[in-house]
Amino acid sequence: MLRYLLYIGLIIASCNALPKQERRFPDDFLFGTATASYQIEGGWDADGKGENIWDRMTHTKPHVIKDNSNGDIAADSYNNYKRDVEMMRELGLDAYRFSLSWSRILPSGFSNHINEAGVAFYDNYINEMIKYNITPMVTLYHWDLPQKLQDLGGFLNPLFPEWFEDYARVVFEKFGDRVKHWITFNEPREICYEGYGWTTKAPILNVTDIGTYYCAKNLVIGHASAYKAYVNDFKATQNGECGITISVNWFGPLTDSAEDEYAAELRRQAEWGIYANPIFSEDGGFPKEISEVVAKKSLEQGYKKSRMPEFTDEEKKYVQGSSDFFGVNHYTATYISADEYKTEYITPSLLADIDVGSYRPPEWLSSASAWLKLSPNSIYNSLTHLHNKFKNRKFYITENGWSTLPESDLIDEDRITYYRSALNSVLDAIEAGVDVKGYMAWSLMDNFEWMEGYTERFGLYHVNFDDPERTRTPRKSAFVYKEILRTRVIDPNYEPDTLTMWIDEGH
Ligand code: NOJ
């Protein structure tokens, strides 16, 4: 009997030792990296560029940035764009996601004056990518609103959708012959909640009661206007696609109680549902549960009507279905509880409205950013949830990445652990039937990390911000990412044998 058991044990052990069937990313899966204009470009007033809300805020209130820095020069991609494309070739990227600076193209925000020098910069950047077969994926808005539009109320002005559509038409016209993947907005939550409803992004408006909700409505209508402009007037000749990128971190219930599940759903709606539901759901408009909660609290607080606006039936129809894909920026996860781990919030505000508690296990690996921990399976959880909720959409992971401290060296093992875990989670989602078409690592290189300035680094390439040349040097993770792209397989044991970069033939 003992021999028999030993024998069975041996068989099991040797099965486990056999390599699992190799899990591959499809050949047409788009692997890339992502960046954003204000975070990398510099040239803040170069060649006719107009002032934007980050220029204004960092110049007039430098203390709001952790190291008192700004994006005036940043990684100086305005002058280093050829080196940027060389790095893309070194990594063997299929695609590169970057954003356009609205005020570099339209200095006042309006389309009556186009800054040709700004257009030429993006023409050169795009042409250099195309020359080496790298697919550009372009975000129209990554948080740098022209200051003049902010002076008119920015996203809170009901005219905002028209301004955005006019700008979108200019860029489709100028670059749509070469750009086939458009993203209207990057992370509505960070624009609306952090910028209008709170103080952690420009324009730090701090209108806690209504800022987030009115911004959200104008933003999704603006998105739909740009999408429709593309579909009606450009798509037939340009053959591209247009979507939106929403930050979808995972919020799961702390326990399996109905109360915790409801609390988690409220938090998901506050985080991304108020932007995704109007566009991707069958019922349209803001999600039901959060709308009810805000309406009830508003009346109790003495407001004459809900602090969350409604969509008319016409507006609902206008916005519904206005996206060819769902871009997901994903970084981490949090457990949500109906009663435990609660904090005091400013009232009224979005977080006070939903009033739920949040918890993150202390054993999760921590990055240099307080909010960012390695949360197992969270990409899989987010994507399968969205796939079921919004019925078989097409997805791109448009951002995912890990931060380290400026003083840490180029051997970034934690970043490698994070990327391998995240990419395995993407494969799990693909195997579960989710249509994921691509993955963009954040970021190609170190850059201006908003309120954290240069104190947190997300790059596969290190950037030396003390050097006027802004020299870029690959971290170890760059070599690991390169190998995953080349083989389409995640080898947990791969070790680069050199830390000197090269360009493979064909790139
Ligand atoms: C998402 C934002 O889109 C990007 O600008 C930011 O740098 C990363 N998250 C990291 O915080």
Q: SS3 for 63-97, per residue?
A: HHCCCCCCCCCCCCHHHHHHHHHHHHHHHCCCEEE
Average pLDDT score over residue span 227-237: 99
Active-site annotation, residues:
187, 399
> What are the strands, taking DSSP E only, across 189-296?
241-247, 250-253
Mean pLDDT computed over 198-221 = 98
459 within 8 A of 443, measured Cβ to Cβ: yes
Please check the confidence at residue 16 and state whether its pLDDT lies above 70: no
Tokens of 422: 């995240």
- Res 459 pLDDT > 50: yes
Choose which residue among 191, 328, 450, 455 to substitute to test ligand 1 binding: the one with the highest number of ligand atoms within 8 A of its C-beta.
450
| Structure token pair of residue 305 | 């009507």
CA of 305 to the centre of ligand 1 (A): 35
Is the confidence at residue 5, as pLDDT, over 80? no
Determine the average pLDDT of the residues in 475-479. 98
- Cα(411)–Cα(214) distance, rounded to whole angstroms? 45
pLDDT given for residue 12 in this prediction = 42
Cα–Cα distance measured from residue 99 to residue 137, given in angstroms and rounded to the nearest whole number: 8
Atom number of ligand 1 nearest to Cα 449: 7
Residue 323 clears pLDDT 50, i.e. is over it: yes
- Reply yes or no on whether the pLDDT at 1 is more than 60: no
pLDDT, average across residues 35-42: 99
Pocket probe mutation, ligand 1, options 275, 449, 460, max atoms within 8 Å of Cβ: 449
Q: Which fold would CATH assign to domain 24-504?
A: TIM Barrel (3.20.20)
Residue nearest atom 11 of ligand 1, based on CA coordinates: 449
- Does 18 score more than 50 pLDDT? no
Peptide bond preceding 443: is omega within 30 degrees of 0, i.e. cis? Answer: yes
Omega before residue 203 within 30° of 0, cis: yes
First-to-last alpha carbon distance for the chain, in angstroms, is 61
Give the per-residue pLDDT at 21: 67
Atom 10, ligand 1: which residue's CA is nearest?
449
Among residues of the chain, what percentage have pLDDT more than 90? 95
Q: How many CB atoms lie within 10 A of CB 395?
A: 25
pLDDT at res. 426: 98
| Cα 1 to middle of ligand 1, angstroms | 60
Separation of alpha carbons 301 and 303, rounded Å: 6
d(CA 438, CA 130): 18
| Probe target for ligand 1 pocket from 98, 275, 442, with the most ligand atoms within 8 Å of CB | 442
pLDDT at 2: 43
Mean pLDDT of the chain: 96
- The answer on pLDDT for 19 being more than 60 is no
Dist. CA 327–CA 246, nearest whole Å = 6
Q: Which range has the worst mean pLDDT, 11-15, 60-64, 157-161, 363-367?
A: 11-15
The whole-number average pLDDT for the span 265-285 is 98
- pLDDT (0 to 100) of residue 17: 47
401 Cα–ligand 1 center, Å: 9
Where do runs of H (alpha helix) occur along 51-183?
53-60, 77-91, 102-105, 116-131, 147-151, 160-175
Transcribe 195-225 into DSSP letters. HTSSSSSTT----TTTHHHHHHHHHHHHHHH
State yes or no: pLDDT of 162 exceeds 90: yes
What is the H or E stretch that residue 268 is in?
A: helix 258-268
Rounded to an integer, the average pLDDT of 305-321 is: 98
Asked if residue 374 has pLDDT above 90, the reply is yes
Give Cα 328 to chain centroid, integer Å: 6
How far away, in angstroms, is 443 Cα from ligand 1 center? 9
Residue ID of nearest Cα to ligand 1 atom 5: 36
Q: How confident is the model at residue 20 (pLDDT cuts 50, 70, 90)?
A: low
**Which ranges of 310-451 would DSSP assign to H, the alpha helix?**
313-319, 350-354, 378-389, 413-431
Nearest to 98, CA basis, from 144, 146, 49, 160: 144
Ligand 1 centroid vs 457 CA: distance in angstroms?
11
> Rounded to 5, what percent of the chain is helix, strand, coil?
45, 15, 40
Give the residue whose CA is nearest to atom 7 of ligand 1.
449
Rounded to an integer, the average pLDDT of 494-499 is: 96
- Ligand 1, CB within 6 Å, residue ranges: 36, 39, 186-187, 329, 399, 442, 449, 458
pLDDT of 342 > 70? The answer is yes
- Strand 241-247 relative to strand 135-141, pairing: unpaired
Alpha carbon distances (Å) from 30 to 52, 236, 348, 486: 32, 23, 43, 12
